[in-house]
Amino acid sequence: MRAANPDLVINARIDEFLNGGKSFDDAVRRARAYFEAGADCVYPMRLPGDRVAESVEAVGRRPVNIAHGPGAPTPNDLAP
């Protein structure tokens, strides 16, 4: 798929927190597996805002998408 469209961005959705799961470690394992399989970024749905920085570090400082909404980190919170 990537060879046919090199501009394609693969964003792998992680539902660990969305479906009642609460395992940060499982979400990180999935993220790492998605990156190993070729994903460009991951989207851990409903990742707790206070775990964003930890998540980014745990996946090797690769792109992690975060939803904006009540309780979510602000852009300033996410700035390095």
- Per-residue pLDDT of 12-68, as tens digits, reads 999 988 877 779 999 999 999 999 999 999 999 888 888 888 999 999 999 999 887
45, 15 contact by CB (below 8 A): yes
Model-level pTM? 0.82
pLDDT value at position 25?
Answer: 94
What are the residue ranges spanned by the domains of the chain? 11-74
pLDDT value at position 71?
Answer: 73
- Per-residue pLDDT of 1-27, as tens digits, reads 667 788 889 999 999 888 777 799 999
44-73 burial code (b ≥16 CB/10 A, e <16):
bebbebeebeebbebbeeeebebeeeeeee
